[in-house]
Amino acid sequence: MKNSSQVSYFTLAAYLDSGDVKFLYFVVLLTAYVLIIGANVFLMVVICMNRSLHEPMYMFLLSLFVNELYGSTGLFPFLLVQILSDLHTVAAPLCFLQVFIIYSYGGVEYLSLTAMSYDRYVAVCCPLRYKTLMTADRTATLIVLTWSYPLVLITVMVCLSSSLQLCGNVINKVYCDNYSVVKLSCSDASVNNIYGLVTTFCTIVFPLILIIFTYIKIFRVCLHGSKQTRQKAISTCAPHLAVLLNFSFGACFETLQSRFDMSRVPTVLRIFLSLYSGFLLPPLLNPLIYGGLDLIQKMKKCFWFPRVSDTLLPVVLF
């Protein structure tokens, strides 16, 4: 038996021998990464520079965009190097670092969406008390919890995984995955499995329960409210729901792929769906979704922001 400290590297076995096509993959992923950086940084700068956007909802959006950059940077540079490499190996410390970044990215994403759903709940259900409930201190507290809560949970998870005794070092994915490492264990991994389920509940299931609860409240208000109230709820909640469903699809696919045998699904399709739905689509689509007309109009009020036509700006955002 080998202790994980004696495993100096992991081999990523899901990469295919694609020959010259790998350069096409490299260009596509590099372009996507540049677009992700450009779109998210652009909106972050806009929110920071425009004082009229220093409101709770836009502060949560700022945190969300920072997380998109955080998760993308933890994956895409690694993928770009691996695509051009012939060995597809990664040092053990870097592998566990990537596990930490990817899992904490997912946790922060869900908790950010939970904080945003609470903000929408207050705005729709308690509009007259919005200013007193969503104060700057409460907004800052929610953002701090959004980041610290999953970071602590994932730190413990990575520490447990890195202390396992391993009998192999081959991971059947294109990036490092915690459950794939746990499956390599020669020793009893029941603690890791139980803690993994607890972490999944705390970072995915529990936030989803809170989001569903807030939207039940919102829908009840809409059913008994005026037409104007329903229109306000739709305009403020539709982008949030779109982002939630988009990211949840990727998270569900990754969970199914890790826990169940999907060998019947072609490898190329599994890799594509894993990257596209979990790491490529959300960071690209979220800025586009939240770069709606309301934010566009407010961006034009920035003293440094020129008058850009409505047809050009969505292209720049995407």
pLDDT at residue 312 tops 80: no
| 23-71 pLDDT, tens digit each | 888 998 999 999 999 989 988 998 898 888 889 989 999 999 999 999 9
Question: Which sequence spans correspond to the domains of the chain?
Answer: 2-317
Question: At a CB cut-off of 8 Å and minimum separation 6, what does 284 contact?
Answer: 32, 35, 36, 39, 318
Please compute the mean of the pLDDT values over residues 215-219 and round it to a whole number.
86
The pLDDT assigned to 2 comes to: 42
The pLDDT assigned to 296 comes to: 53
The pLDDT assigned to 270 comes to: 72
Quick check: 46 and 305 in contact, CB under 8 A? yes
Question: At a CB cut-off of 8 Å and minimum separation 6, what does 142 contact?
Answer: 60, 115, 118
| 179-204 pLDDT, tens digit each | 889 988 888 888 999 999 999 899 98
pLDDT at residue 265 tops 60: yes
Domain 2-317 sits in CATH at 1.20.1070.10
What is the percent of the chain with per-residue pLDDT over 90, rounded to a whole number?
Answer: 36
The pLDDT assigned to 62 comes to: 93
Burial bucket for residue 165 (CB in 10 Å: 0-12, 13-18, 19+): middle
